[in-house]
Structure 1
Amino acid sequence: MATYQLAQEALAAEFAARWAEALAAVEARQLAGSLTELETAYTAAIRESAAASYTLSVAFYRLVRALETGRVIGGPGYRPGASLGSLWADFNKATGKRTGSGPREVLPVDIRNPFPAADPAREARRAEESFRHQVADRVAAHERERPAREGSAALDDAELVAWEKEFLESLKTGGSGAGGMLVQDAGRDAVHLALQDDPGAIGYFRATDASPCYFCALMAGRGAVYKSKRTAAFGAHPHCHCQAVPIFSRRYRLATENDRFARMWREFGGGSLADWRTYYARNQ
């Protein structure tokens, strides 16, 4: 599980590095005239890392399912004659690490494809909307403010330089968070939607990173979440590295962090979300 989560984080970081590189190639005063090139770089980086996130999640889901049920499921990436050994090989290839291996005996097959089909048009819209909110709209507001700034300072004034630098940094941070969410959503959606459509799955639990926000800690503290219409949404946010881990047996084991957050919630004793946020910050 840790390898899977770290590999998903690495894909988000890969996108963030490409976005930072694209921004670094543009002067602050050239941003308004470079939006087309920046959007192309932003959306292409999301698309490529999101595709890798989807492939990784399918390999993870198929491996976990086979380990828990002794059966392999069809769908993208399925190869006839699959075994635990070949499923481990697929997962290792997707993570770039050798984390496990298994026997070569062919597994029984559930000929079913629960994985959501790629929707390039929807993915493109989400990337375009993210760019508009995180970059284009903010650049427009920045440009409207520029005349007042430049009218009260020389172009090399330290305060003006700091203002430009701070804005570029905010574009990098905001774009990385929103774009990285879309990258990981490709994988999160693959797992979360597959388990809703897979009769062999009973639910999932939320695995967090080492230091999640108060909301993610609360969600992880719920433990196992069983399939229902009410639980059909995962609820990630920018800079969130939580993942849905599918469950195929009542004999599942939660991650240690889930137990820790569940214990914190019990000790908290109830109250508003704002109260929990304060309590969590004080006790994390």
Structure 2
Amino acid sequence: MLRRATAALVEEHWQAQERIGANVAAHALAQWSRVNPHSLEESGSAWLAWMLALIRRERRRSRDQAAAFFRLYRALETGHTVPPLSGEYVGETTTLGELREEWADQTDTVRLPEPDDGEEITLDGFDWPEEPKESHDRAAVASLVSQGVAKVRQHLDQVDDDQDRGRLDDGGFLQELEEAVDTAGRSSAGAADREALRAGRDLIDQASKRDRRVVGWARITDGNPCAFCAMLASRGAIYTSQATAAGGGRRKPKDSPDGRVRANRRPPVAREDLTRYHNGCHCQTVPIYSRNDFMTPQARDFDRQWQEVTRGMTGAEARRAWRRHIESSRS
């Protein structure tokens, strides 16, 4: 199970990223009110340009924040860290206190002194991955257009094709159009949230692939995950092929307190699934540095719930039961 300091940092990480995404979503909704379906091309283009500028700025925040998390998290887990994202030379060592200060600065939080702040941390040689800005821009534009303006355009095109609709200023049509615009606004806000967090998630993903100390990855859920995300978290860590080989393959069953042998946890999902995020999702994928059981308290609870809810079930039947269970308990 995660050490207290690491578990607290992981919790702070997804919450800090969530604040970035939620702020972008709120701005997206506010600006969406300027989109006029009667001048969709002009007003939609203006909205898209404004949103892209905002997302670019917040992607930088997400990336800088993720780098500060990565440096502190790695130090807590291994006693070693990597140089700053800025590339600035800072010597061959740093301290936990300095890394915590950087994290507090990036998250705009007040940091309290810790007893081990003076602990010296060695800096390993490391090259941070560059952000593929053009690729991220293309993804943002495609997502915002498909979830926003394109949905309104699709509704208008359907009206044009319907000969029985009558006048376009009909009260029923206007009400329906307003609802379609509102729905598109909410969808595009969710897309904006996701796109703002893309850079931070991508940085962690790419940096951890380069990090020779990483042995695997785990999904960390936000405070109110969907069934799919909760399932991913409940499965704990997946390991690199090298780490699995070094560990002798799959884990053996553990004895429970009553002396009976527990069944193995379900086989882990593919690594690609760990890095799949839907609109409105604030989960994160984090690297792991030890084959010790990597489970947050929430993930351990989801594991217990899965075993209870899906007892005697497999495959699609188990997934359906799990989805009903999580959806009925979500706030």
Normalised to the residue count of structure 2, the TM-score between the two structures is 0.77
C-alpha change, 1:108 and 1:120, in structure 2 (3 Å) is: same
Confirm whether residue 14 of structure 1 aligns to residue 23 of structure 2: yes
Q: Which residue of 2 aligns with 1:43?
A: 52
Q: What is the CA–CA distance in structure 2 between the aligned matches of 1:178 and 1:56, rounded to whole Å?
A: 20
Give the residue type in structure 2 aligned to 1:93: D
CA distance in 2, matches of 1:13, 1:73: 29
Q: Where does residue 173 of structure 1 map in the other structure?
A: 186
Cα shift at 1:162: 2.5
- Identify the residue that residue 86 of structure 1 maps to in structure 2: 98
Q: 2:124 aligns with which of 110, 135, 145?
A: 110
What is the number of equivalent residue pairs in this alignment? 282
Alpha carbons of 1:224 and 1:243: their partners in 2 closer, same or farther (altered >3 Å)? same
Matched-pair contact (CA < 8 Å) for 1:19–1:41:
no
Aligned-pair identity (%): 28
Report matched runs for 1:57-206 at 5 Å: 57-74=66-83, 76-77=85-86, 80-81=90-91, 82-99=94-111, 101-102=113-114, 103-104=117-118, 106-113=120-127, 115-147=128-160, 152=166, 155=169, 157=171, 159-206=172-219
Aligned to 1:265: 306
Distance 1:87 1:135, change over 3 A: same
Deviates more, 1:8-17 or 1:204-213: 204-213
Match of residue 6 from structure 2: none
CA-CA distance at 1:144 after TM superposition: 1.7
Structure 1 CA distance, aligned partners of 2:163 and 2:292?
63
Residues 130 and 28 (structure 1), Cα distance of their counterparts in 2 relative to 1, 3 Å cut = same
Specify which of 210, 224, 227 is matched with residue 237 of structure 2.
224
CA RMSD of aligned residues (A): 2.5
> Could you tell me whether the CA contact under 8 Å between 1:57 and 1:190 is conserved in 2?
yes
Which residue number in structure 2 is paired with residue 212 of structure 1?
225
The answer to whether the 8 Å contact 2:136/2:198 transfers is no
CA–CA distance in structure 1, aligned partners of residues 84 and 111 of structure 2: 23
Q: Is the 8 A contact 1:8 1:184 kept in 2?
A: yes
Aligned partner (choices 270, 274, 278) of residue 324 of structure 2 = 278
Q: 1:16, 1:129 → 2: CA distance?
A: 16
Q: Please give the secondary structure, in 2, of the residue aligned with 1:118.
A: coil
Q: Distance in 2 between matches of 1:282 and 1:26?
A: 35
Which structure has the highest helix share of the two? 1
For normalisation by structure 1, the TM-score amounts to 0.88
Structure 1 portions without partners, runs of 5+: none
